[in-house]
């Protein structure tokens, strides 16, 4: 059936510009896999895949926790692993969205308008992230449906996720909003590690309109002085060139 779908697309359009999603499918040419409710331990770049999970549940119910920060951090966990993301937001029985869902989606939209360059069309970098570890592994957001445990999960100023934007530059997401005027250290970007293959030449903070950032690349870390005003929510992104 899928082969016929592709053949018909080729006949009508002159190229195959479509794809199929086959749930829990091993690597197969022309298909996209799904990962439901899980957050993988490492980068998965062997096939295209979509991470999917609901806010609350796959159908509407009472007492859902509609937290935009939890959804955004879930997004960052997945795109840093080379995934795409699908979120189920369940409508009310009449097909409308409740007030909490609407507020959540608007907050996500506001965040992506600032930080979308590191999300849309991005790919995983050579390292998915750095930060606090548990049992020798990177501490990550809990899996499963998005709710209270994800909303209350705390990240700190040493927790980062990385993506390679479609513009070719590196985007470094701090999984929280650092204290204004503080210094953050990104160990993966120290000159000794040389993960960029060159010295860092420019650092900008997405959404920041003030003076240029103060930063320095040392042997063991890239050190960035955060602006004195940080009017941001959930997580911030640095463009590294």
Percentage of the chain modeled with pLDDT above 70: 100
Q: Helix, strand or coil for residue 81?
A: coil
pLDDT per position as a tens digit, 124-136: 999 999 999 999 9
Q: Pick from 120, 124, 129, 104: which is nearest to 47 by CA?
A: 124
Q: What are the domain boundaries of the chain?
A: 20-240
pLDDT per position as a tens digit, 2-28: 889 999 999 999 998 888 888 877 777
Q: How many whole angstroms separate alpha carbon 53 and alpha carbon 96? A: 20
Output the pLDDT for position 160.
98
The CATH code of the domain at 20-240 is 2.60.40.1180
Output the pLDDT for position 2.
86
């Amino acid at each position: 059936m899928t082969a016929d779908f592709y053949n018909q697309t080729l006949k009508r359009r002159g190229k195959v510009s479509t794809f199929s999603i086959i749930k829990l499918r091993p690597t197969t040419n022309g298909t996209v896999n799904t990962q439901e409710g899980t957050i993988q331990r490492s980068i998965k770049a062997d096939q295209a895949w979509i991470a999917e999970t609901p806010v609350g549940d796959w159908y509407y119910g009472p007492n859902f926790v509609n937290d935009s920060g939890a959804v955004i951090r879930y997004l960052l966990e997945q795109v840093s692993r080379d995934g795409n993301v699908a979120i189920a937001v369940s409508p009310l029985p009449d097909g409308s969205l409740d007030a909490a869902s609407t507020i959540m989606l608007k907050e996500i939209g506001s965040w992506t308008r600032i930080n979308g360059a590191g999300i849309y069309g991005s790919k995983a970098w050579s390292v998915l992230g750095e930060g606090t570890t548990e049992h020798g592994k990177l501490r990550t957001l809990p899996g499963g449906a998005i709710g209270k445990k994800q909303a209350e999960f705390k990240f700190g100023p040493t927790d980062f996720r990385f993506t390679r934007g479609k513009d070719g530059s590196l985007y470094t997401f701090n999984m929280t909003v650092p204290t204004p005027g503080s210094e953050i250290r990104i160990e993966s970007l120290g000159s000794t590690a040389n993960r960029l293959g060159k010295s860092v030449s420019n650092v900008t903070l997405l959404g920041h309109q003030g003076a240029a950032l103060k930063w320095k690349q040392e042997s063991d870390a890239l050190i960035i002085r955060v602006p004195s005003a940080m009017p941001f929510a959930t997580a911030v992104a640095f463009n590294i060139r």
